[in-house]
Structure 1
Amino acid sequence: MASISSQLILHPTVSQSIKLGSTTIGRDKLYRAVQYFSRFLAWFLLARGHKDQAARWNALKSHLALARKLLRLGKPMEHLQAALRAVQAYSAAETGEQITTIGRQLAYFGYLTYDTVVWANAVKFINLKPDTAQKVNKTSNRFWLAGILLSITHGLLKAGRLANEAKKLRSRSGEKDVGAEADREMRQRTLDMARSVTRHQFIIDILDVWIPAANLGLVNLNDGVLGIFGFITSVMALRQQWHIAGNK
């Protein structure tokens, strides 16, 4: 019995789950997945007249959203540092990518800074007038939308550059020099990995962009659609963090 318990408790999957949960980003993505699934489920139940059950999932969604804002305190500075590093890492061949990276990081800095004010007002640490609170929330969503749009632009630019590099590498295939061919294959694997990561982030951005757009009233999507979009992107990001935790 003790042996079976040890095998269960010390199972690699359990250990990997603990590693994932011990990171702030791992917990954030997990909370986000549950938050957006709750948003979808609340909409689904409410559409079928189950108001009491819908209220329970709505409450869970709201509390997780507030908890995630707390987890992100201090994160604006990470994005500000990332913007500064992008400024310092100048590359003439990747000017467009660099500009969009800087813009994206600054936009996320603005988004999370205003989001901190939203959190402080929600927990009554500060007291904003309703119209001021609404303006702060709207500005936060504008920065969020700008950050995702810049991320999409960055992804398109990077995908185009990587595709051109892959095309050049394929034209060099079949070289007689064994060392040169081995180097080409290694660079091809690196490019394939970079293209996969870029596609992964692009899909996340394409789905996530509708959430701040809906919050700003630019599109008319119900909570069911937004909940599913948010849940899908959360699971995609969570899987990415799961693989990272497994490699540590």
Structure 2
Amino acid sequence: MEAWIKLNSESIGRDKIARLIQYFSRAVWDSLEQNHASPITVDQFKTLEYILSSFRKLLRFGKCLDVFYSSLKSSHYPDIALRITLTIGKLSQSLFLLADHIIWLSRTGLFKNINPKKWGKIANKYWLLSIIMNLARDVYEIHRLIDLHNSCGKVGITRSRVPLSITSSRDLSRLALYSYGIMLGHQDVAVDTIKNVCDLFIPLTALGYTNLSARTIGILGILSSAAGLVALIQPKAKLLPA
């Protein structure tokens, strides 16, 4: 109950909850449609998805300025890899949100000359770039963890090192085991990586680079939303600096 109150008291928490239900609705209506369920029921879940999508756009309205301002701060990080990935990622997210705001204005009917498909494509392009930068940061963090693990192995803190080359199934098993152990000890990197990998295919499919079903996109959205909720509820699962 305390976790629910904490989530519901913040706009970002309400956005994550609405996002989870939104993608759940997408997975449900596509499953119902594939099973030839009642068109009325399918339309109800499609309407629910649309309403939640519009609600989230309204909830985020104006956030593009906040994200842009935070990109100015990240441009001063001493670590060059973090500085580049975070700054470009935040700038891309800011432009994605700006396009998203324009889409919301078109849905309200205030500006009828706006082409929502055109701006939807623009929004997805910037969202995709933002996710790619986030994934590049995740890869960098994982590489740092592996280097730290191997360095500890050299001085005898750990018994063995992560295999740098894979020549057999045994090496592959060792790599998988060590990677699991490292990620288990660093929930923030694991949760952020899972979230970004799942999110990656959503704009890719929207832009036509991949051809995933609405049900698959819904499941990926559910997983990424759940990862985002975990990062909000558990401070140790949030990757910093964000």
**TM-score with structure 1 setting the length:** 0.79
Q: Which residue of 2 aligns with 1:199?
A: 190
Q: C-alpha displacement at 1:96, in angstroms?
A: 2.3
Q: C-alpha displacement at 1:15, in angstroms?
A: 3.1
Cα 1:63–1:107 change in 2 (3 A) is same
Is residue 2:56 matched to residue 1:73? no
Q: Which has the larger radius of gyration?
A: 1
List structure 1 segments (4+ residues) > 2 angstroms apart after TM superposition.
165-174, 191-196
Q: Trace 1:1-248 onto structure 2 (pairs within 5 A).
A: 14-50=1-37, 51-91=39-79, 95-129=80-114, 132-172=115-155, 195-244=186-235
Answer yes or no: is the 8 Å Cα contact 1:97–1:158 preserved in 2: no
Amino acid at match of 2:96: Y
CA RMSD of aligned residues (A): 1.9
**1:136-170 CA deviation, whole Å, 9 max, x = no partner?**
11101100011101111111112112321233244
How many residue pairs are counted as aligned between the two chains? 210
Amino acid at match of 2:234: H
Q: C-alpha displacement at 1:237, in angstroms?
A: 1.3
Cα distance in 2 for partners of 1:142, 1:49 equals 33
Q: Which residue of 2 aligns with 1:186?
A: none
Cα distance in 2 for partners of 1:68, 1:192 equals 31
Amino acid at match of 2:13: G
- Say which SS state the counterpart of residue 234 (structure 2) adopts: helix
Give the % identical residues. Answer: 25
Amino acid at match of 1:55: D
**TM-score with structure 2 setting the length:** 0.81
Cα 1:193–1:128 change in 2 (3 A) is farther
Unaligned runs of 5+ in 1: 1-13, 175-190
